[in-house]
């Protein structure tokens, strides 16, 4: 059976030709996929009680307050995400408005993708 032509390594920026058909050179092997344990989240009435307590303690968006604005908080946000090891309790929560919560979530998704691509 004829062999296929060598191709450049599929790792971004690598130009080494690969002859074995794997798509990657020896310096850039593919990361093995590892299933992570799902993060346990608080749900139900306990979550509702925690949200109510947070919004009564801190009714305004924490990010807006840092930027000299006042908007009501509508989202319970984890300061350090649960996926990054933050606890799901009062020490790791803040109230955010919808806009600030969406912007923070977007930044965290982008950072997560960067870490994934970097292999960390």
Tens of pLDDT along 60-112?
999 999 999 999 999 999 999 988 889 999 999 999 999 999 999 999 989 88
Domain map (residue ranges) of the chain:
44-113
Structure confidence at residue 49 (pLDDT): 97
Strands, E assignment, the chain: 7-8, 17-18, 75-78, 93-96
Structure confidence at residue 1 (pLDDT): 52
Asked if residue 120 has pLDDT above 60, the reply is: no
Q: Name the DSSP class of 10.
A: S
Structure confidence at residue 85 (pLDDT): 86
Does the pTM surpass 0.75? The reply is no
Structure confidence at residue 72 (pLDDT): 97
98, 72 Cβ separation under 8 angstroms? no
Average pLDDT, the chain: 89
Reported confidence tier of residue 36, pLDDT bands at 50, 70, 90:
confident
């Amino acid at each position: 059976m004829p062999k296929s032509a060598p191709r450049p390594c599929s790792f971004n920026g690598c130009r080494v030709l690969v002859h074995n058909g794997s798509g990657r050179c020896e310096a850039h092997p593919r990361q093995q996929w590892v299933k992570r344990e799902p993060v346990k989240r608080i749900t139900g009435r306990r979550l509702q009680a925690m949200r109510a307590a947070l919004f009564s303690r801190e009714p305004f968006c924490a990010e807006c307050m840092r930027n000299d604005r006042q908007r009501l908080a509508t989202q319970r946000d984890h300061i350090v995400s649960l996926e990054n090891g933050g606890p799901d309790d009062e020490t790791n929560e803040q109230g955010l408005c919808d806009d600030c919560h969406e912007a923070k979530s977007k930044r965290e998704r982008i950072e997560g993708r960067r870490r994934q691509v970097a292999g960390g």
